[in-house]
Amino acid sequence: DTAVSQTPKYLVTQMGNDKSIKCEQNLGHDTMYWYKQDSKKFLKIMFSYNNKELIINETVPNRFSPKSPDKAHLNLHINSLELGDSAVYFCASSQRANNEQFFGPGTRLTVL
């Protein structure tokens, strides 16, 4: 299936731990994004990469570090997890920054 996929789908962890979320797209797109959907269901951009280069870095704690090993992958690593990091994280991709974006199924992160 052509799609944007994320792993894991659910992630439950303790405060202070370090965790990673992986994202892969097989759509041949050159731009990938991470969005955060908070408890009130509001979606906000966190990062955007174009051809493995960071082009958007919103006001996000530096405990969050995206890594793009190649155009098809954009992983999100989170250090020293805090309760407020609990949210659903969505990966998305598009061909060039101004075209239609396609979203992954989301990763629900719960920090205890």
Partner 1 sequence: KQEVTQIPAALSVPEGENLVLNCSFTDSAIYNLQWFRQDPGKGLTSLLLIQSSQREQTSGRLNASLDKSSGRSTLYIAASQPGDSATYLCAVRGSQGNLIFGKGTKLSVKP
Ramachandran category for residue 52: left, alpha or beta (phi over 0 → left; psi -120 to 50 → alpha): left
Query: What is the DSSP-derived secondary structure letter of residue 29?
Result: -
Q: How far is the CB of 34 from partner 1 (least distance, A)?
A: 10
Look-up of token digits 């994280």:
89
Site for partner 1 in 31-60 (CB under 8 A): 31, 33, 35, 40-45, 48, 50, 55-56, 58
Cβ atoms within 10 Å of 2's Cβ, excluding its own: 8
* Interface positions, 56-85, toward partner 1 (CB under 8 A): 56, 58
Q: Per the structure block, which two tokens stand in for 8? A: 């894991």
Q: Is 89 in the site for partner 1 (CB under 8 A)?
A: no
Q: Give the number of other CB atoms < 10 A from CB of residue 9.
A: 12
Q: By CB under 8 A, is residue 104 in contact with partner 1?
A: yes
Q: Which residues bind partner 1 (CB under 8 A)?
A: 31, 33, 35, 40-45, 48, 50, 55-56, 58, 90, 92, 94, 96-106
